[in-house]
């Protein structure tokens, strides 16, 4: 996670690739998805890569990366001048220049965990700013995989004679485009007749309920049908003795069932 003003970090996020999440439901007319946080932050991501625009895309893989380490950048070794946090378990044992390998390729994630732990839910602090990053965060890998550059606010930030990795004004600072506490995803363009969400009245409740809303140029029916089939299989697998009344398990015709059961 390469930041412009704050600390860079190596961290392992796990979750669902955005491409896998959306490809089953988006309409052919869909071109992008806007991701919103309840504090008002938002980012728009096109579905497909376009070399003419400098944005993070949903579909496809991102360039593979290397692990960059230098003691000058390490905040653990240089608390007052360092700018990169190497403390993540996933960084242990790596040395400068090691390839970071992901067999499935680096993809934009709807992340649920950071270094194996569920993301801390977002809350507004006393300065009216967002603390935390969960329960969901959009995490795009770098489009241009490069080392952690110095903070833009550092003294002589762009001086290569002062810093091993001086600040790059046009560098790939993907941390600033990784929407924290994402609660709403709007797939655009909105079809005619679609009602937009009143963002002033939505958001924080979704964090409390561990939910995210997806709407716009989508057709969720195929996904709903697939989930219903999975539900039927799950119900079939429950022993009849688990139901208060065996007749409550199923209505005999598959696909026309009533579930009234409690275990």
Residue 55 has pLDDT above 80, yes or no: yes
pLDDT at residue 259, as a whole number:
47
| Per-residue pLDDT tens digits for 87-104 | 999 999 999 999 998 988
Q: Which of 65-69, 148-152, 155-159, 244-248 shows the lowest per-residue confidence on average (mean pLDDT)?
A: 244-248
Closest CA to 166 of 176, 184, 153, 175: 153
pLDDT at residue 263, as a whole number:
43
* Pair of tokens at residue 219: 């057709």
Residue scoring higher pLDDT (89 or 235): 89
pLDDT at residue 142, as a whole number:
94
Q: b/e for 225-252, b at 16 or more Cβ within 10 A?
A: eeeeeeeeeeeeeeeeeebeeeeebbee
Residue scoring higher pLDDT (222 or 115): 115
The C-alpha atoms of residue 124 and residue 204 are separated, in whole angstroms, by: 10
The number of angstroms, rounded, from the C-alpha of 132 to the middle of its chain's C-alpha atoms is 13
Average pLDDT, rounded, for the chain: 90
| Per-residue pLDDT tens digits for 188-208 | 999 998 888 887 667 899 999
Closest CA to 9 of 121, 105, 133: 133
Confidence of residue 250 (pLDDT cuts 50, 70, 90): low
Residue scoring higher pLDDT (87 or 234): 87
pLDDT at residue 221, as a whole number:
87
């Amino acid at each position: 996670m390469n930041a412009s003003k704050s600390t860079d970090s190596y961290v392992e996020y796990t979750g669902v690739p955005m491409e896998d999440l959306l490809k089953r439901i988006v309409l052919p007319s869909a071109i992008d998805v806007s991701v919103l946080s309840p504090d008002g932050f938002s980012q728009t991501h096109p579905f497909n890569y376009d070399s003419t625009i400098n944005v993070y895309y949903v579909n496809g893989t991102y360039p593979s990366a290397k692990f960059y380490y230098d003691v000058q950048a390490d905040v653990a070794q240089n608390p007052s001048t360092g700018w990169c946090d190497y403390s993540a378990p996933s960084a242990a044992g790596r040395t400068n220049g090691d390839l970071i390998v992901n067999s499935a390729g680096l993809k934009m994630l709807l992340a649920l965990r950071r270094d194996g732990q569920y993301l801390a839910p977002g809350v507004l602090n006393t300065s009216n700013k967002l603390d935390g990053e969960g329960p969901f965060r959009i995490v795009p890998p770098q489009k241009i995989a490069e080392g952690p550059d110095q903070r833009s606010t550092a003294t002589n930030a762009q001086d290569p004679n002062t810093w091993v990795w001086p600040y790059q004004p046009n560098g790939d600072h993907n941390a600033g485009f990784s929407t924290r506490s994402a609660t709403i995803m709007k797939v655009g363009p909105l079809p005619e007749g679609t009602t937009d969400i009143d963002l002033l009245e939505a958001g924080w409740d979704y964090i409390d309920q561990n939910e995210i809303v997806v709407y716009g140029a989508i057709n969720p029916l195929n996904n709903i049908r697939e989930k219903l089939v999975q539900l039927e299989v799950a119900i079939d697998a429950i022993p009849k003795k688990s139901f208060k009344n065996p007749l409550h398990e199923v209505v005999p015709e598959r696909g026309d069932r009533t579930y009234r059961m409690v275990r």
